[in-house]
Amino acid sequence: MELIVPLNVQGGRPLYEQIYQYIKDEIRKGNIRPEKQLPSSRELAKSLKVSRSTTQLAYEQLVSEGYLEAVPRKGYFAASLDGIFPPMAQSVAARPDQKKELSLGMEKESVRGQLFREKFEVDFSPRGIDLEGFPYATWRKISRSVLKEEDRELFLKGEPQGDLILREAIREYLHAARGVNCDVSQIIIGAGNEYLLMLLSQLIGRDAVIAMENPTYRQAYRVLSGVGHKVLPVGIDKNGFCVKELEGQDVQAAYVMPSHQFPTGTVMPVRRRQELLFWAGEQPGRYLIEDDYDSEFRYKGKPIPALQGMDQNGCVIYMGTFSKAIAPAIRVGYMVLPEALLSVYLAKGRFYSSTVSRVDQRILAKFISGGYFERHLNRMREIYKGKHDVLLGELKPLEKRFEITGEFAGLHVLLKDRKKEPEQQLLEKAAEKKVRVYGLSGFYMERAQAKEMSTIVLGYAGLTEEEIRKGVDLLRKALE
């Protein structure tokens, strides 16, 4: 095939980067289909009138990231990204009669909502992650090695709790990185936290009242309330979950995010953690559900150990996921049960088959045990810290009006308006400049619980540094 790459020789961007970016975008858009052969580096150099070293450098970068495959004596071929990375969305024009509407929360969007979203030049979604940093080549290499093993048992049903090899890899990682103390028998693998929460619901009983931080991760609230639990909203102060609000309440479990509360970004100090553990230990059958969703990303000071590591009474249920650390499509979460609940699971829950493919479990296990996961995390920390620093630097002119909180950890920050301008007006002003931001009120369990909010949420993980600068520039103009 022939490639016509639009090169800007007068621009400041190296030519090899322009070639690399163009081919990558064409593959992700589907314009260059999987297994399609590309011209040789010599042919492409001749066609574009550049040196062969330029095209060779671009090809080598694409191969290292997994977009191209180099076949000896045959050439370069476009790789298949199916099941690993979604293709780039094609631009779709919004209907002229489409009504303007702003999503304050994290509701699942319809096709109409997607059309509306494309009106924005920059979307500060708190859900995004940087998929440019996904180790495609490594993942593909491990995938091939797993399938070449010809292990017939890999295609059988497997253990209900998940394959032992993956549970062992997770146990070692959690103990070393998060201070979690457990045995592999306590770990259950599941396809996302939704499944694990539904399973947990059966273990603690549907009549259990569960306290949750408010605002919170609404998907967890939807799942728990959806399966029949009464959910008690609990406020958050500067130290996180307000334990005193549990006094006199008939509550059997508390769902908390002590290492980095979502969405406020609060990190729970040791004293408050001890208060929570004391509350849970006061009565038999009380539990703390610790959601440690993005503890890997902290940019100031040492990582905050998990609450589970402080637990002496076996009352913490620890939950984690690889959605933020690797990619949402991995769909692998894990839950560490205390001994008392493990016996309940063995009696009531082992008849549920594992919801994660054994092939995917084996790939992930090798990714972790082979040291690839740790290297990937180190790389992503640097990438996210760079974006984090750019965002905070660009937001400095807004500091007189807005209080910036939730920084130094996670993948989003909060801007609280000192003038207390209504949240809806802030969102509308940003939308007029084609910037999408999110209101804190959208993260409350019920919208009626959020009164007179003036706080917006800015996620930055899914944006490039250039997009962050552009977005904040437009936001400053909107809010000045």
pLDDT tens, residue by residue, 383-438:
999 999 999 999 999 999 999 988 777 889 999 999 999 988 999 999 999 999 99
Whole-number pLDDT of residue 448? 66
In this predicted structure, the answer to whether residue 287 has a pLDDT above a threshold of 70 is yes
Closest-CA residue to 130 (of 442, 353, 459, 392): 459
Average pLDDT over residues 23-31: 87
Average pLDDT over residues 295-302: 74
What is the distance between the alpha carbons of residues 225 and 229, in angstroms, rounded to a whole number? 5
Q: What residue ranges define each of the domains in the chain, with the CATH number in brackets?
A: 15-78 (1.10.10.10), 111-134+375-479 (3.90.1150.10), 156-371 (3.40.640.10)
Whole-number pLDDT of residue 139? 93
The token pair at 38 is: 């590309």
The answer to whether residues 233 and 246 touch, using CB atoms and an 8 Å cutoff, is no
For the chain, give the longest Cα–Cα distance. 79
Reduce the DSSP state of residue 336 to 3 states and report it: strand
In this predicted structure, the answer to whether residue 319 has a pLDDT above a threshold of 70 is yes
What is the distance between the alpha carbons of residues 333 and 191, in angstroms, rounded to a whole number? 6
Q: What is the mean pLDDT of the chain?
A: 86
Residue with tokens 């996210």: 384
What is the distance between the alpha carbons of residues 278 and 468, in angstroms, rounded to a whole number? 43
What is the distance between the alpha carbons of residues 302 and 385, in angstroms, rounded to a whole number? 14
* Amino acid, res. 10: Q
The answer to whether residues 189 and 368 touch, using CB atoms and an 8 Å cutoff, is no
Q: How confident is the model at residue 11 (pLDDT cuts 50, 70, 90)?
A: confident
By CB neighbour count within 10 A (0-12 exposed, 13-18 middle, 19+ buried), where does 91 fall? exposed
Whole-number pLDDT of residue 94? 37
In this predicted structure, the answer to whether residue 80 has a pLDDT above a threshold of 80 is no
State the alpha helices, DSSP H only, in 266-371.
270-282, 339-348, 358-369
What is the distance between the alpha carbons of residues 134 and 307, in angstroms, rounded to a whole number? 29
The token pair at 422 is: 């209504």
- Whole-prediction pTM: 0.73
The token pair at 48 is: 């574009």
The answer to whether residues 234 and 254 touch, using CB atoms and an 8 Å cutoff, is yes
Average pLDDT over residues 354-382: 92
In this predicted structure, the answer to whether residue 188 has a pLDDT above a threshold of 50 is yes
The answer to whether residues 421 and 453 touch, using CB atoms and an 8 Å cutoff, is no
In this predicted structure, the answer to whether residue 216 has a pLDDT above a threshold of 70 is yes
In this predicted structure, the answer to whether residue 67 has a pLDDT above a threshold of 90 is no
- Chain length of the chain: 480
pLDDT tens-digit readout, 236-264? 998 999 999 999 999 999 999 998 889 99
The answer to whether residues 199 and 188 touch, using CB atoms and an 8 Å cutoff, is yes
Whole-number pLDDT of residue 106? 36
Whole-number pLDDT of residue 272? 92
Contacts of 201 (CB under 8 A, 6+ apart): 208, 224, 227, 228, 229
Bridge partners (DSSP) of residue 405 are: 414
- Could you please report the per-residue DSSP string of 131-194? GGG--HHHHHHHHHHHHHT--GGGGS---TT--HHHHHHHHHHHHHHH-----GGGEEEESSHH
As a whole number of Å, the CA-based R_g of the chain is: 24
Bridge partners (DSSP) of residue 439 are: 456
In this predicted structure, the answer to whether residue 302 has a pLDDT above a threshold of 80 is no
Secondary element (H or E) of residue 478:
helix 465-479
Residue with tokens 């000192």: 418
The torsion angles phi and psi of 451, rounded to 5 degrees, stand at -115, 130
Whole-number pLDDT of residue 409? 78
Whole-number pLDDT of residue 81? 66
Q: How confident is the model at residue 185 (pLDDT cuts 50, 70, 90)?
A: very high
DSSP at 88: P
What is the distance between the alpha carbons of residues 166 and 190, in angstroms, rounded to a whole number? 12
Whole-number pLDDT of residue 148? 84
Average pLDDT over residues 356-363: 92
pLDDT tens-digit readout, 102-144? 334 333 333 334 434 457 899 999 988 888 888 899 999 999 9
Least reliable range by pLDDT among 226-230, 295-299, 337-341, 403-407: 295-299
Whole-number pLDDT of residue 154? 81
The token pair at 478 is: 């909107």
